Structure 1
């Protein structure tokens, strides 16, 4: 998996019967008798697991529409599913139903690969590539399962899951059982990550061509994240969070990158710093691959220079939160472009303004480094195809700063505020912010997690949802306040003038927002999945 991540899809001869995970109709067994006869087939099968999550349905864009229900981003362009931002979920909105299908398809494909490689392992020794591939399949099954579990499962009702390897002979294509509790799902995910660790190499053991694949530390990080979400229902799991982050630091040598900017650098030499844990390495040029998120958040039509899409803009609310650390601080400037802020775009120094679609007054700046280069497309920094605007960046899914924030939260929830303070201050000092003084509280954790991880796939909305169920009154109140607020934006008198005056007002789209209730913590299942399951899939309460 080279730095530019040009990933192929899994061969069409494989997994034709696994395309709909919850379909009641059995479609027979896939035609796979000749598969896994050599290393390249194992590589192709695993690359077919990575490919879908890189596309629009996955981390390219669709998962991020959900964040409109919090107050850190606005959509920038009117969409046809405002229910995602107003807590009037139906489950049938194309973004959430499409990602539901994608993750379940990935679980099915991972299931099949695991089953085939375990069967082969019973009769012959797996090659190094096949052993690694088995670890990757466990990792990808656990990762896909996690994204479904926390977004659809509660302590009273888990999500459907089955392991093909638990069946004698071939999997019978029956509908996976809906587990009794999401905590059962979490345990299954932990089990998969443990299996992944037993088969995967360490990141440092990969050649340059394979960097970007799953590795042991990435599986440990997912365990930390699973335990943090599990702590919603069992606060004893905070101790497991601490143990996992300690392991990342002490066994795997993870640490913060020297500067905040290095994480989002377009220089290949910065891709694999100590903060890296799990990412989608991306690039541009004529063979660009990865995720298109950097182009999606770019100004629509890129001021006539490049085909940005003008979507997912910062709100005034997140700007205001970041500015509490001082106007013009490193983290704010590197995360958000505001009017009259200087930046480089295709070799030209410009002052930011925005005339595209619905007014926001800001643009995400975290992923703009590739666009600064004079000949960014031909030099391979930005995709020559503006309809698939990938850019050279090691797009983070999990980085060590998030792990420190989870450990700090765990320390606060277990009565160790001084240890939490040390972790929070490591993050603040890295961005040249003043260290916290006195005893930190969950309000400090809320601020640091919100600001440090803004506009990343760390799911700020679900942070709010799980905090809304917290036993800590302070974080519960902060979560309720944001969940029930409507995002604000800057409204400029002359949108084409970087020095224009502005007022602050409500974002003009999706204004009618329902009062948040705890049942909204999870999404409703898509109605077609309920129908296909012939009654075996129970809808979530409240929907």
Structure 2
């Protein structure tokens, strides 16, 4: 079955590319200048180098997820030195913040160069089909990386640095990118790049099986919906654009929910590319693994002596309690969270979950555990290299269920609570949960988005931050409560016994000495964005202004 080689053209191939010169890290504005784009293979190599960083540990493998410690859905499981990410006392120089900022801006720089080079070639001669696709992918990856920088560092007071190389008449002059006036200016350029991506990209269905996983038209439309939703935190007129984008995904691109919630996280290749898929990191196992190492990061530390799990990033009692509102043992909670005594398959053995990891939580993430159920899983389903523990699962970065919840949020903001209920109920019905009986409320939206997308890279922490910024009192109060809380855990009398008694109490790490129930500083709106790394401010020579309050 050719699906086994899905990643050959995208994530794994980027690691194995023979084009080592192109993959050498270059300083901002100084990419490799030897002649390039003389054939299709060079275009493919250039684009694969743009995909390469997103699946690595420094981005969606792990590092960007440490930020979620600032909310109450997860705890870190193992003590880290950058506790300021959990207490919201940001410095900007925490290694995960600094590293992800550098990697994302590096992808922007490389994508800028690819866009410029292919546009220059297009002005002189017709592009091949592969080169047209590559240009669309470059526009997409520039928008993708720009977006993850923009919303995390930009607001209505000032935007983030960004320039388009093709806007320089004589070619990019290697100057420091201009800091945009507001994040809305960044969002406008991101939307323009996504529109250009749609112009050049194929549909998902036009890809052969070896190239699935690349950017496609519907993925760009989905990110447009998310950009408009984040933009709406500062301009409510953008909610109507969110609705239009989600409508387009249904009507123009035939997107829909997968039949069952578990299908989204299946280790069966036949479930990788359902109608729910929009964009993500497709993973493999065995001796030549690819994808994100996140499934191994979240696995019990040392994997009960069977596999080298890392014991990091655990569910809190708070998210388990929120999911319990839909009833104990429901299809979504059991597929999302392992609790003590819950049966699961691990390397062909039926086990009951318990945890002896470094810092107690009482739970483990179950969403990405399907590959680990197989006997001799390391032959095909799980990486045989425990130091890079990828697994055969198509880890979503954005999926259609999130689109439905964005449209529900848009309709709530525009006063159409009845339409919001329809989209929320589509998500609930898929997991066999009791549907809402009337109009949706902001509390319903908060619950559904929090539970459906738990432990994914949808950014629950930023949901809370933008909701706190909202003018609606109900959603702001819910966000404020969680932002000011300290996550709780189950503390077991005997951790290795799934029948042991437990008490619910504050998670042990990063407690405020004065009051263990709250974070050290009450949340306020300047925390909506991170501070820039001090090195970025210094090397800009005064052209990059630090965010207010830092």
Q: Same fold (TM over 0.5)?
A: yes
Unaligned runs of 5+ in 1: 22-28
Summarize the Cα distance change of 1:84–1:376 in structure 2 as closer, same or farther, 3 Å threshold.
same
Aligned to 2:22: 14
TM-score, L = length of structure 1: 0.97
Structure 1 Cα separation of the partners of residues 411 and 31 of structure 2: 48
- Alpha-carbon shift at residue 17 of structure 1 (Å): 8.0
Structure 2 Cα separation of the partners of residues 98 and 253 of structure 1: 37
Aligned partner (choices 499, 515, 525) of residue 522 of structure 2: 515
Structure 2 Cα separation of the partners of residues 492 and 271 of structure 1: 37
Aligned to 1:204: 205
2:21 is paired with a residue whose SS is coil
Structure 2 Cα separation of the partners of residues 295 and 342 of structure 1: 19
Aligned to 1:281: 282
1:390 to 2:396 alignment: no
Cα deviations across residues 340-370 of structure 1 (Å, max 9, x unaligned)? 0000000000000000100000000000000
Structure 1 Cα separation of the partners of residues 271 and 225 of structure 2: 25
Runs of 4+ in 1 over 4 A off after TM superposition: 15-18
- Alpha-carbon shift at residue 31 of structure 1 (Å): 4.3
- Alpha-carbon shift at residue 34 of structure 1 (Å): 2.1
Structure 2 Cα separation of the partners of residues 102 and 539 of structure 1: 19
Which residues of 2 match residues 297-446 of structure 1 at below 5 A?
297-378=298-379, 380-446=380-446
Asked whether the 8 Å contact 2:300–2:309 carries over to 1, the reply is yes
Structure 1 Cα separation of the partners of residues 134 and 152 of structure 2: 27
Asked whether the 8 Å contact 1:14–1:32 carries over to 2, the reply is no
Asked whether the 8 Å contact 2:492–2:502 carries over to 1, the reply is yes
Q: How many residues align?
A: 535
Summarize the Cα distance change of 1:396–1:297 in structure 2 as closer, same or farther, 3 Å threshold.
same
1:506 to 2:506 alignment: yes
- Alpha-carbon shift at residue 13 of structure 1 (Å): 2.9
1:377 is paired with a residue whose SS is helix
Aligned to 1:492: 492
1:7 is paired with a residue whose SS is helix
Structure 2 Cα separation of the partners of residues 114 and 354 of structure 1: 48
TM-score, L = length of structure 2: 0.96
Asked whether the 8 Å contact 2:26–2:32 carries over to 1, the reply is no
Aligned to 1:145: 146
Cα deviations across residues 420-467 of structure 1 (Å, max 9, x unaligned)? 000000000100100001221000000000000000000000000000
1:526 to 2:533 alignment: yes
- Alpha-carbon shift at residue 186 of structure 1 (Å): 0.2
- Alpha-carbon shift at residue 170 of structure 1 (Å): 2.4
Structure 2 Cα separation of the partners of residues 136 and 443 of structure 1: 38
Asked whether the 8 Å contact 2:537–2:546 carries over to 1, the reply is yes
Which residues of 2 match residues 7-156 of structure 1 at below 5 A?
7-9=13-15, 11-14=19-22, 18-20=26-28, 29-156=30-157
Aligned to 1:157: 158
Which residues of 2 match residues 168-179 of structure 1 at below 5 A?
168-179=169-180
Summarize the Cα distance change of 1:16–1:363 in structure 2 as closer, same or farther, 3 Å threshold.
closer
Cα deviations across residues 203-260 of structure 1 (Å, max 9, x unaligned)? 0000000000000000000000000000000001000000000000110000000000
Asked whether the 8 Å contact 1:7–1:50 carries over to 2, the reply is no
Aligned to 1:24: none
1:14 is paired with a residue whose SS is helix
Which residues of 2 match residues 176-191 of structure 1 at below 5 A?
176-191=177-192
Structure 2 Cα separation of the partners of residues 124 and 454 of structure 1: 47
Structure 2 Cα separation of the partners of residues 359 and 420 of structure 1: 38
Structure 1 Cα separation of the partners of residues 506 and 32 of structure 2: 55
Asked whether the 8 Å contact 2:158–2:181 carries over to 1, the reply is yes
Aligned to 2:549: 542
Asked whether the 8 Å contact 1:408–1:424 carries over to 2, the reply is yes
Aligned to 2:516: none
1:8 is paired with a residue whose SS is helix
Asked whether the 8 Å contact 2:418–2:438 carries over to 1, the reply is no
Structure 2 Cα separation of the partners of residues 34 and 49 of structure 1: 18
Structure 2 Cα separation of the partners of residues 524 and 32 of structure 1: 33
Aligned partner (choices 1, 6, 28) of residue 3 of structure 1: 6
Structure 2 Cα separation of the partners of residues 14 and 55 of structure 1: 18
Aligned to 1:226: 227
Q: CA RMSD in A?
A: 1.2
Cα deviations across residues 16-70 of structure 1 (Å, max 9, x unaligned)? 684346xxxxxxx544332111111110110001110100111000010000000
Cα deviations across residues 361-393 of structure 1 (Å, max 9, x unaligned)? 000000000000001101x10000000000000
- Alpha-carbon shift at residue 297 of structure 1 (Å): 0.2
Summarize the Cα distance change of 1:294–1:528 in structure 2 as closer, same or farther, 3 Å threshold.
same
Structure 1 Cα separation of the partners of residues 112 and 24 of structure 2: 13
Structure 2 Cα separation of the partners of residues 542 and 318 of structure 1: 30
